[in-house]
Structure 1
Amino acid sequence: MAAPRLPPARLSGVMVPAPIPDLEALRALTALFKEQRNRETAPRTIFQRVLDILKKSSHAVELACRDPSQVEHLASNLQLITECFRCLRNACIECSVNQNSIRNLDTIGVAVDLILLFRELRVEQESLLTAFRCGLQFLGNIASRNEDSQSIVWVHAFPELFLSCLNHPDKKIVAYSSMILFTSLNFERMKELEENVNIAINVIEAHQKQPESEWPVLVITDHFLKSPELVRAMYAKLSNQERVTLLDLMIAKIVGDEPLTKDDIPVFLRHAELIASAFVDQCKIVLKLTSEQHTDDEEALAAIRLLDVLCEMTAHTELLGYLQVFPGLLERVIDLLRLIHVAGKDTTNIFSTSGGIRAEGNISNMVEGFKSHLIRLIGNLCYKNKDNQDKVRLFL
């Protein structure tokens, strides 16, 4: 590959001022790296030159963070930074050799530091957002299918980058930072996440704001739901709306096209313990919905969603047995059904008009089918279980 010739740089990383030639050369490189053969034949020294340009331009960003009046002079440097990230991003696509070469220059650390500086600027410039997005894309690409790079990204990015980016107002920045989190997480790193549960909560919030984005969903379903400890820690700190969101994704995992694996079952038994315990403790809060003042009570609606999860869990053979003997669960469901039946005789409250079961929809519709879900859960808990069948005959 005949790479465009970049202007000479001193080893210190301080470039000779020549932003326009640098930019033109970088753009040519970015275009070349769209081709696999060019990525595979790239000279290793070219990445040092790109890093030198990135370092020099980052000095201008540091200055602007210290002196806001300098922000207006960032335009040319932001162009260079953006093109450096685009170039490096393209170079990493399906090319582990380039990923390793770029990583070994400590480019990841420089990129993360620069991205954190972007958040400090707190100015609304499209050129800044573009550089921000490209930097995150580069981190995602260098970590893709490369465990060594994932480890370095995690060391530099956790927790500050995720805390800074997952709640960013720009949707693409949230999506790209979710992608990096998804790519970098593994079983060992989940332990660190348990100690920084606010990051996990930010992912839930990101999914609420951007339900169409796949990355927050994948982080939750493919990582968070594999850690009962994290889910328990999250659940304790989530708002009721956020709990509903988490429970919705738990249902989606249970009833999804891909059945729970043998490795999933022990994990979901732990989830079942949390869900059943929370329902036994909180289910009577649903009775608040009989009052007109509480027809949109979020705490009650979260309790309803717990019932929905239990219905799906008890429809799963390998989870059913555990829940059939869960202390107090059947008795509490029977008791609640009786109370709801009494409440339903009053034509002025919400339970008197409960319709069919609706598994999805607006939170205000989640009360629909509550009574039928109670009956469904009782039926599941009694399935091939004589002790529970006898309890139902006794109490109903």
Structure 2
Amino acid sequence: MAQPTEGMTNFAEIMKDAVTEEFGGKHLNSLTSLTTALRTPDFRADVKEDVFKGLKTVLEKSFTAVKRLDKEAEEISMSLQMATECFRSLRNACIQCLNNQCRLRELGFIDTTVGILSVLYKRQYKQPDHLSDALRCGIQFLGNLAVQNQKCQDDIWEHGFPQLFLGLLGVSDEKAIAYTCMALHTCLNEQKVEQLTKQQDTFAVALKVMELCRTQPELDWTILIVTEHFLKSKKLIEKMYTAMSPQDRLTLLELISAHLGEGCEESEECGILPATGEFLAYCFKDSCKSVLLIDSGSPADDEEAIIVIRLLDILCEMTSGRKEFMFLQDCKDLLETTLVLLKEVHVLGKDGANVFSSAQNFSHMLGTGDVNSHPIVSFKAHLVRLIGNLCHKHIDNQNKVRNLDGIALILDNCSIDSKNPFISQWAIFAIRNILENSVENQEVVQALKRQGVADDSILKEMGYKVEDRDGNMLLRPLKKDQ
């Protein structure tokens, strides 16, 4: 490889000719050599400003040609190749080199690059091969320019947001979309996330990211944008949830659920705001009756029902001893809503054979296929689980369950149900929480007449035994040898 000084001198001389001559093979070869040389850290650190100025001249000349993509196909093809190689050189020049990032910003490369990309994404179907390469490399350059450089991030945001980002997220080239998401993720911070909620065109970027999470789940950058940035804004999450399609809303809930399931128990690590938990509880209360319409034959009803099911899953996870979310025990009407829904589902399940009926044979009750994938599986069990969570060491909620006749209802769900794996265990857990340190609730169980609401073996698992005296069930603690 040529020495840095020699290589840069040769490049500068060749680029001078490119200003007045038509782009040709010698210019492209010189750029390719520079791209290769800039992979070397020592070369990157010693690049003279004349080299960057030469690249700027080439880009600007390419920009002029690119704007007339419908003419002179051969010239346009070479201009696109030159722009692509310029972007490759610039991309390499930014790698772990703060000085080069700053110099390129000061020389106006951001504005020029945004201008070129704004033309390219609108004409992505012309000169498809070379145009796609230029598009990808230009986005990569902006992404590398932004890494750990706040001033570059802010300038890219100022020049390219929201129109450029929104346009690039809508191209047909999946790699270009991935690089755009990487650049967007790098530029985002708390202030910029809040900006997404300000206007319709800025908000459209957030909605597009969520759409990509659903349609292209293999794009890790979209998931990182949501989990590391969007979830930290209560305002954005609420606005997105309200505006999104049911399919994208479900995708958001699945991301939240997966994020909660990663094992983070501290609020600063979880990345989900308590206020978001409160909002999701409100959404559950507001729409929970939709689940009763599942399998009604309407795809829209099924979508809304599945959303309720996912909301319930999230609330169960949030209230499973996570300190930052246990305030949900005091959430107005959440316990009442859950109890009423459990009663309605339970009664509906006993009213003939339907999707909520208890069963031992999935395929017989839910039809053919992979029945374990049916969204209603475990729904009733999770209602019982949430009730148990909300009553844990919470006397007011324990009293509410008693006053709403919920104790017998939960005991009546101790039977094994193949549609609700572990429902008997969740019922045991819920009853234990409802009875703990509550004399009144214990007396209710003691006063229950034997009506098949629970059998002795279930209560024994909770550490109690039942004695029948004059037709009444008395609850007694088990001795150690029993």
* Fold in common (TM above 0.5): yes
Aligned equivalent of 2:382, options 373, 377, 396? 373
| 8 Å Cα contact 1:15-1:56 kept in structure 2 | no
Counterpart of 1:248 in structure 2 is 254
Counterpart of 1:155 in structure 2 is 158
Alignment of 1:1-396 (within 5 A): 1-2=4-5, 3-4=7-8, 5-6=10-11, 7=13, 14-64=19-69, 68-70=70-72, 73-123=75-125, 125-195=128-198, 196-262=202-268, 268-289=273-294, 291-293=296-298, 297-346=302-351, 348-352=353-357, 365-395=374-404, 396=406
The one-character-per-residue Cα deviations of 1:277-312 (angstroms, maximum 9, x if unpaired) are 111110001111153445971111111111111111
| 8 Å Cα contact 1:313-1:320 kept in structure 2 | yes
| 8 Å Cα contact 1:19-1:80 kept in structure 2 | no
The one-character-per-residue Cα deviations of 1:51-109 (angstroms, maximum 9, x if unpaired) are 11111011111122xxx344564211111011000000011001111111111111011
Say which structure, 1 or 2, has more relative contact order (CA 8 Å, 6+ apart).
Answer: 1
- When structure 1 is superposed on structure 2, of 215-224 and 167-176 the one drifting more is 167-176
Distance in 2, Cα, partners of 1:138 & 1:320: 42
Distance in 2, Cα, partners of 1:238 & 1:258: 27
Partner of 1:194: helix, strand, or coil? coil
- Post-superposition offset of 1:317: 2.8
The one-character-per-residue Cα deviations of 1:237-283 (angstroms, maximum 9, x if unpaired) are 01111111111111222222444444868x62110121011111100
Distance in 1, Cα, partners of 2:374 & 2:142: 41
Distance in 1, Cα, partners of 2:180 & 2:86: 19
- Post-superposition offset of 1:351: 2.0
Q: For residue 133 of structure 2, what is the amino acid of its counterpart?
A: T
| 8 Å Cα contact 2:124-2:132 kept in structure 1 | no
- Post-superposition offset of 1:236: 0.9
Distance in 2, Cα, partners of 1:131 & 1:365: 46
Q: For residue 78 of structure 1, what is the amino acid of its counterpart?
A: L
Distance in 2, Cα, partners of 1:18 & 1:122: 22
Structure of higher CA gyration radius: 2
- When structure 1 is superposed on structure 2, of 364-373 and 22-31 the one drifting more is 364-373
State percent identity of aligned pairs.
38
- When structure 1 is superposed on structure 2, of 174-183 and 317-326 the one drifting more is 317-326
The one-character-per-residue Cα deviations of 1:325-374 (angstroms, maximum 9, x if unpaired) are 11111000000001111121245432226899xxxx99963322111111
| 8 Å Cα contact 2:295-2:302 kept in structure 1 | no
- When structure 1 is superposed on structure 2, of 141-150 and 341-350 the one drifting more is 341-350
Distance in 2, Cα, partners of 1:102 & 1:20: 26
Distance in 2, Cα, partners of 1:98 & 1:362: 58
Partner of 2:96: helix, strand, or coil? coil
Distance in 1, Cα, partners of 2:372 & 2:35: 46
Partner of 1:42: helix, strand, or coil? coil
Distance in 2, Cα, partners of 1:131 & 1:362: 48
Structure 1 stretches of 4+ moved >6 Å: 361-364
The 1:383/1:120 distance shift into structure 2, 3 A limit, reads: same
- When structure 1 is superposed on structure 2, of 317-326 and 237-246 the one drifting more is 317-326
- Post-superposition offset of 1:206: 1.1
Q: For residue 373 of structure 1, what is the amino acid of its counterpart?
A: H
Q: In angstroms, what is the RMSD of aligned CA positions? A: 2.5
Unaligned runs of 5+ residues in structure 2 are: 363-369, 407-482
Q: For residue 270 of structure 1, what is the amino acid of its counterpart?
A: A
The 1:73/1:268 distance shift into structure 2, 3 A limit, reads: same
The 1:365/1:103 distance shift into structure 2, 3 A limit, reads: farther
Distance in 1, Cα, partners of 2:25 & 2:93: 22
| 8 Å Cα contact 1:254-1:260 kept in structure 2 | no
- When structure 1 is superposed on structure 2, of 292-301 and 370-379 the one drifting more is 292-301
Partner of 1:343: helix, strand, or coil? helix
Counterpart of 2:455 in structure 1 is none
Distance in 2, Cα, partners of 1:339 & 1:299: 17
Normalised by the size of structure 1, how large is the TM-score? 0.91
Partner of 1:297: helix, strand, or coil? helix
| 8 Å Cα contact 2:266-2:323 kept in structure 1 | no
Q: For residue 398 of structure 2, what is the amino acid of its counterpart?
A: Q
| 8 Å Cα contact 2:329-2:390 kept in structure 1 | yes
The 1:290/1:22 distance shift into structure 2, 3 A limit, reads: closer
| 8 Å Cα contact 2:277-2:325 kept in structure 1 | no
The 1:326/1:348 distance shift into structure 2, 3 A limit, reads: same
